[in-house]
Structure 1
Amino acid sequence: MPDVRVASPQGKWILLTTVMGSSMAMLDSTVVNVALPRIGEDLDTDLAALQWTVNAYMLTLAGLILLGGSLGDHYGRRKVFVIGVVWFAIASLLCGLAPSAEVLIAARALQGIGGALLTPGSLALIQASFHPDDRGRAVGLWSGFGGIGAAVGPFLGGWLVDGPGWRWVFLLNVPLALACVPIALRHVPESADGRSHGRFDVLGAFLGALSLALVTYALIEARTGTLAVVVTAVAGVAAGIAFVLVERRRPDPMMPPKIFASRQFTAINLVTLCVYAAFSGFFFLAVLQLQVVAGYSALGAGTALLPTTILMLLFSARSGELGARIGPRIPLTVGPLFCAAGLLLMLRVGPDASYLTDVLPALLVLGLGMVTLVAPLTATVLASVDAARAGLASGINNAAARAAGLIAVAALPLVVGMSEDAYRSPDALDQAFGRAMLVCAGILVVGSVVAFATVRRPPPDCRRPECLTHGSVTAPPLEPGAKSSGRLE
């Protein structure tokens, strides 16, 4: 039985290294958006390259995160975590030194692989190291500090972009990794799942990532109207169908189709797709709108977005408690509507927008909606399957949220008619941003309707601190035990 106590020196070192490791991945999910206008200007690139700068990371992370958790369970959580941190740092160095957009995009894809290795292991190390009596407190501290990191991310990113330059958004990960790895090797005990049988669904992970990559490419390049786009789109759909067929026939699939026999689980993942697609589309375009149209600096744009994460950190616990009392249906119906209202208020943000009267009210309403829905959503995911499958359910939900964000960033500029150089023109971007907010608000309303029509069974009291002190706006929290288990081929 794990016997490390939170108050012990070893316990503090374990918390420090896991927070540092997970913060690397979490920061890169939030700070890069703030740097996009400067990256485009410095590398003289078009909107498609900026989309890929975001999506290359999300693509490999979403496609491999379930496999990463399984590798840690079998080969050792500390070992895979450390490999992930080192991999992430090397990829970050490549991002910071990238001489062109193509090199930056490739390095971002490598970053996502590192994130898929370290993200599941961070929380799993805490669960496997601390004494059961201290485990809840340790997870709460880890989640709380991680949430603070998520809140600081846009501010830090803006400060770096305006100061030493956008490359330091990536280079900052290198000293963090240099501090994190020795602490992990010295103070974190190794752990593994003795029940793990060493068979991994590599084929399923490959097909899933390939399908996402091809569909994403087709959406981003669709405005060119070439035959290659059509062929890629068809190939992406075919890869998705092949993924489903493979998962149905394997004895130990990465994403068992039987888990979707739960109507509640299927419904809550549909809500997740709607909610996080809208969130990702908003945060991708909002920093462009604030900088290019409203004239904010990178630091100003990053700081402007802080209220949403701060509200989640302060009030998610109360929202989770309310959801446990009244059931998830009302929070998951009302929350997306609040978020939609916040996005509609963002239509007031134009040239020379006032932060206090135009930007802040929209972000407060959006943050209120996030507070209302995120903790009950996570609790409902975990309650919709039996306890033995809670980790798998959480992993699928987390991957679904990231995939939704990936597709949204690829599709939204196409849907609203943004040109390749729209982010360089305040007038063109302002018009496209207005249309995009209407689309995102509509997606949130669809999510609200789905929740009202399908979510029924109330979850039990969610005592998992990571549900209630979650601060990330890019994906729901990942419960340990999220793993794939197909045969290695």
Structure 2
Amino acid sequence: MSSIGPLPRLLAVGLGVLVAPLDSSVNVAFPYMTDHFSVPISDTKLIVVSFILTSISLMLISGRAGDVWGHRRVFQTGLAISAAALALDAAAPSFSILLAARVAQGVGAALIFGSGPALAIGLYPENRRGLVIGAYGMMFAAGMAGGPYIGGLLVDAWDWPAVFWFRVPIALAALALSPLLPPPRRAAPDRPDTPARFDFTGAALLGAGIAALFTAINMIWAGGLTWLGFAAISVLAFAFFIRRQARHPQPIIDLKYFRAPWFSGLAGASVLINLASFVIMLLTPFYFRRISGLGAGDAGLVLASYPAGLALAALATGRILGAIDLRVRATQLSARALAARFLVLAPLVGAAGLWLVGGWNTATGLGAMLAGMVLAGLGLGIFQASYFYTVTGEMPRADRGVAGSLAEMTRATGYLAAASLLFELFRVISDDAAAAGAGADAAFLAGFQATLHWAAALSAAVFVLALISARGQGRQGGGAKPNGAKPDGAKPDGAKDGRSG
């Protein structure tokens, strides 16, 4: 084990992490799945929500579980559950069974996301954190980029179940390679004399609060007052969770970070920019099939250009921040200050891309499609890598699982909110156009264009929030050396004996 370098281990983590972002292949299959199960297009959001809601509810909990019991163990459990759930997805005999399998798939994804970032970052010295974050972001985005194209080819050849089947051997291969990863340490590096404890009651309250909140949001559109009951459950669960976390010696997440307005502001900005950007993955597959006339393979290729831009931006951003970390010896102020500037710039880049995509019509050429998709991906990639760098630097290394999970959770929360809110906006606008006499395709295009333009406006609004948060970070000393950071050039925890989170 000790003779194995960090790069093979990082690749093993990357292979396992790919299982979740490759779920972008399902987006290409949405129209085929709704046809197969004879459900309306609006029910597509259930395929998304069942998966993402489960993963969001468990993500912070999974990160804390990794900090307590070891990230490798949590990672392996997530891979095993994912393999079984993907097989059930593919073989689902009914839409309800498919949704149940998607819930199980969300459990596996939460465990992978809760452990993957900490495993990857812990393989290298702290002054290489930016480089690792860029590589991790690229691997994640590569899955999103390859998913639509692979999914298009698979759907053309073997129909929609293939978008689930092909990931089963990937999950099993990563599981077979997981013994290469460092075993769990017995004590946290920042608190060597304090045994780690897991707050089961706090975890239950947090999971219940998140699940009830998004269930209420989704039920609002169905009419009736049932959603109020779930909203009340959410409020109570969060109230008790906050009270418990304030008193627990080792909480799921230390709420003191959110008392800093800039930290909470950036978390909100992360949710909102991911919300705005995910509309591309939700609606463009239907545009390609109904309006563009492209086949599934060509449509997947164009759709892949968006996460491809995301991957390139994440890698480049991480490398830039990492290069500064390697040069600066006494402080990480410069890299953190640059990350703050990236967080302000990124929403404007993403807004430009979303606005261009919102201008697509029946005559839009391939070049115009690629320009909008790549630009939107670049904006999101810059933001995600910069936010990941900021949040993992703000929390101590002993809580690196929670820090990585928080970054992943804000991303997934944006995705889920997009599936709930922007899909509803699209439906309302499309229905209004149809009621005004527009044909089916014209009504779809009206909803598509308006929803993308609203998403672009939201991304532009994130610029303001990020700017205010970045200034607040500077005033409150957010550029200080991260808590628990090792001196530059220090080895990662357990580097001498192969032990790391």
TM-score category, normalised to shorter length: 0.7 to 0.9
Match of 1:109 among 85, 103, 107: 103
2:13/2:116 contact within 8 Å kept: yes
1:72/1:79 contact within 8 Å kept: yes
Within 5 Å, give how 1:279-290 maps onto structure 2: 279-290=277-288
Letter of the 2:21 counterpart:
M
Match of 2:418 among 405, 408, 425: 408
- Which residue of 2 is the match for residue 267 of structure 1? 265
Mean CA deviation greater in 201-210 or 149-158: 201-210
- Which residue of 1 is the match for residue 45 of structure 2? 51
Match of 1:250 among 245, 248, 251: 248
- Which residue of 1 is the match for residue 185 of structure 2? 192
CA offsets, 1:214-252, max 9 Å, x none?
Answer: 333333343331232343344334434443333334332
- Which residue of 2 is the match for residue 347 of structure 1? 358
Mean CA deviation greater in 425-434 or 103-112: 425-434
2:45/2:423 contact within 8 Å kept: no
1:380/1:459 contact within 8 Å kept: no
Q: Aligned partners of 2:293 and 2:283: how far apart in 1?
A: 14
Q: Aligned partners of 1:429 and 1:194: how far apart in 2?
A: 56
Within 5 Å, give how 1:294-305 maps onto structure 2: 294-305=292-303
| Structure 2 residue 349 is the aligned partner of structure 1 residue 338 | yes
How many residues were matched structurally?
Answer: 456
- Which residue of 2 is the match for residue 476 of structure 1? none
- Which residue of 2 is the match for residue 474 of structure 1? none
Q: Could you tell me the percent identity over the aligned residues? A: 27
1:5/1:130 contact within 8 Å kept: no
Root-mean-square deviation (CA, aligned residues, Å) is 3.5
| Structure 2 residue 216 is the aligned partner of structure 1 residue 201 | no
Q: Aligned partners of 2:249 and 2:392: how far apart in 1?
A: 23
Letter of the 2:161 counterpart:
R
- Which residue of 1 is the match for residue 217 of structure 2? 219
Within 5 Å, give how 1:389-428 maps onto structure 2: 391-418=401-428, 425-428=440-443
1:47/1:421 contact within 8 Å kept: no
For residue 353 of structure 1, give the secondary structure of its aligned residue in structure 2: coil
1:4/1:130 contact within 8 Å kept: no
For residue 20 of structure 2, give the secondary structure of its aligned residue in structure 1: helix
Deviation at 1:417, TM superposition (A): 4.0
Cα distance change on mapping 1:298 and 1:376 into 2, 3 Å: same
Cα distance change on mapping 1:131 and 1:94 into 2, 3 Å: same
2:337/2:479 contact within 8 Å kept: no
CA offsets, 1:182-205, max 9 Å, x none?
Answer: 3334x4453334247453233333
Letter of the 1:403 counterpart:
T
| Structure 2 residue 377 is the aligned partner of structure 1 residue 367 | yes
- Which residue of 1 is the match for residue 496 of structure 2? none
CA offsets, 1:391-414, max 9 Å, x none?
Answer: 533322321221222122112222
Q: Aligned partners of 2:391 and 2:462: how far apart in 1?
A: 15
Q: Aligned partners of 2:124 and 2:313: how far apart in 1?
A: 27
The normalised TM-score by structure 2 is 0.80
Mean CA deviation greater in 310-319 or 90-99: 310-319
1:49/1:101 contact within 8 Å kept: no
Q: Aligned partners of 2:400 and 2:284: how far apart in 1?
A: 34
| Structure 2 residue 447 is the aligned partner of structure 1 residue 432 | yes
- Which residue of 1 is the match for residue 31 of structure 2? 37
* Alignment gaps of 5+ in structure 2: 189-193, 322-333, 483-499
For residue 158 of structure 2, give the secondary structure of its aligned residue in structure 1: coil
2:148/2:304 contact within 8 Å kept: yes
The normalised TM-score by structure 1 is 0.81
Q: Aligned partners of 1:15 and 1:65: how far apart in 2?
A: 21
1:204/1:253 contact within 8 Å kept: yes
- Which residue of 1 is the match for residue 19 of structure 2? 24
1:77/1:121 contact within 8 Å kept: yes
Match of 1:378 among 365, 369, 388: 388
